Amino acid sequence: MQYQVGRTGKIVVARFEDREDVLGNLADIARRENIRAAAFYLVGGMREARIVVGPEKDVMPPVPVWRELGESHEVTGFGTIFYQGDEPKVHFHGAFGKGDMVKVGCMREKTETFLVLEAVIIEMEGITAVREFDPVSGLTLLKL
């Protein structure tokens, strides 16, 4: 196990409007506010998203299993923001529900708000963690 200890910095509350790009907006806020490390929560509606719901098999590198929302869903979840080079990388896992169906996964592509989505971003000061590409897993992982 590796870990670092930091403290709370800025807290940003954001409202994303209908059809806005969720992951893109989170990265934009991190750039504009010079937030290098953060945790965030999302709650609201998603119109579109491609999510990874796990690997096909427990092997390295993992082959992701993709699912698409394709219509409005309720969403709630937690994520982090750390930089990879000069760019903020957003990592979000959430639950996406419609009627009696719930999908849980890592939101990665086509992230479009339905009506309104709220974000609470909590900056972490004193944390020097970054994201780096790991050739064994083929993923961009947290490095402390």
Model pLDDT for residues 124-144, shown as the tens digit of each residue:
999 999 999 999 999 999 999
Residues 6+ away with beta carbon under 8 Å from 13: 118, 119, 120, 121
pLDDT band for position 111 (cuts 50, 70, 90): very high
pTM comes to 0.95
Tens of pLDDT, residue by residue over 6-48, are 999 999 999 999 999 999 999 999 999 999 999 999 999 999 9
Question: Is 134 in contact with 62 (CB distance < 8 Å)?
Answer: no
Task: Give the pLDDT score at 96.
Answer: 98
Average pLDDT over residues 93-112: 97
User: What structural domains and CATH numbers belong to the chain?
Assistant: 7-143 (3.30.1330.80)
Among residues of the chain, what percentage have pLDDT more than 70? 100
Q: To the nearest whole percent, how much of the chain has pLDDT over 90?
A: 99
- Whole-number Å distance between alpha carbons of 113 and 106: 16
- Tokens (6 digits) for 74: 């309720």
Region 65-77: mean pLDDT is 96
Mean residue pLDDT of the chain comes to 97
CB of 8 within 8 A of CB of 126? no
Place of tokens 């491609």: 50
